[in-house]
Amino acid sequence: MARSKNKGSQEVNAGSMADIAFLLLIFFLVTTQIATNKGLTLLLPPKNEDDEPLEIKQNQKNVFKIQINSADLLLVEDEPLDDVTLIRDMVYDFVLNFGNPSSTKKGSDNVSDVDVYNSLPASMKSYITRSLGKDDSSDGPGAAIVSLKADRGSSYEIFIQILDELNAAYNRIYGERVGITDEEFRKLNRTDPKEKEMYDRARMGIPKAISIAEPSSQGG
């Protein structure tokens, strides 16, 4: 009699164990943050003692000047600008201006501006011939440089906003060149040979020339 009763409660009731473990699991899932390695990348120029002459050699029309003063006000191409988001289109037009494309091959890719122009899709070509090609803007993407000069007193926030706009402009150019959106271009996985080829094709001959100029020490 007693024996059969014992039989029923021999095992420990493990039903709630799963609930406890679930609780712990959910706690860890919620509290752990996976470190995100995302941000705006920038390649600094190599260490060089006398890099000043480089700036002077550049023709002024090939430099897109953005200046920020200590009150976070912008001066773009020597004219004040209030809306940061306009920079994207201005840089897009500036880089793709092809005012006087050179046919000399240069750079690590060994392509000329004319080659770059010929490699563009028809929609971009027609846009360039229709509304770009101005004499007072850049000669071609190989020569175009965007110069960002921030005062020492300007805030990091506006700097990031502008850097974001510049990257947006370049990513749009790269993306359009191979027929994808800028977002798709950013997400290209460079370890995949097929996507790497696309990435290289998009960037060939159009260097992302963003120069962070030494700021003036004082003033605004």
Partner 1 sequence: MSKFKKKSESSQDIPTAALPDIIFMLLFFFMVTTVLRETEIKVEQRIPRAEQLVKLEKKKLVTYLYVGKPKDKSMGTEALIQANDAFIGIDGIINWINQEKSNLSEAERDQITVSMKVDNETKMGIIVDIQTELRDANARKIMYATPQKSEDN
Integer Cα distance of 80 and 92 in angstroms: 19
Q: Which residues contact 169 (CB under 8 A, 6 or more apart)?
A: 87, 88, 89, 91, 92, 95
For residue 151, state whether it binds partner 1 (rule: CB under 8 A): yes
For residue 198, state whether it binds partner 1 (rule: CB under 8 A): no
How would you class 176 by CB atoms within 10 Å of its CB: exposed for 0-12, middle for 13-18, buried for 19 or more? buried
Q: Output the smallest distance, CB 64 to partner 1, in A.
A: 17
User: Which stretch in 40-48, 56-64, 93-101, 200-208 sits in contact with partner 1 by CB under 8 A?
Assistant: 40-48
User: Quick one: 104 or 189, whose CB is closer to partner 1?
Assistant: 189
Degrees, nearest 5: CA angle 140-144-149: 165
For residue 37, state whether it binds partner 1 (rule: CB under 8 A): yes
Q: Looking only at residues 56 through 85 of this chain, which bind partner 1 when binding is defined by CB under 8 A?
A: 68
* Amino acid in position 109: D
For residue 38, state whether it binds partner 1 (rule: CB under 8 A): yes
Helix 86-95 vs helix 156-177: angle between axes, to the nearest 10 degrees?
A: 50
Integer Cα distance of 190 and 200 in angstroms: 9
Q: Output the smallest distance, CB 117 to partner 1, in A.
A: 25
Q: Output the smallest distance, CB 72 to partner 1, in A.
A: 10
For residue 145, state whether it binds partner 1 (rule: CB under 8 A): no
Q: Which residues contact 212 (CB under 8 A, 6 or more apart)?
A: 42, 44, 148, 149, 150
Q: Looking only at residues 11 through 30 of this chain, which bind partner 1 when binding is defined by CB under 8 A?
A: 11, 14-15, 17-18, 20-22, 24-25, 28-29
User: Quick one: 31 or 104, whose CB is closer to partner 1?
Assistant: 31
Name the residues that contact partner 1, by CB under 8 A: 11, 14-15, 17-18, 20-22, 24-25, 28-29, 32, 34-47, 68, 150-157, 159-161, 163-164, 167-168, 171, 182, 186-187, 190-191, 212, 214-215
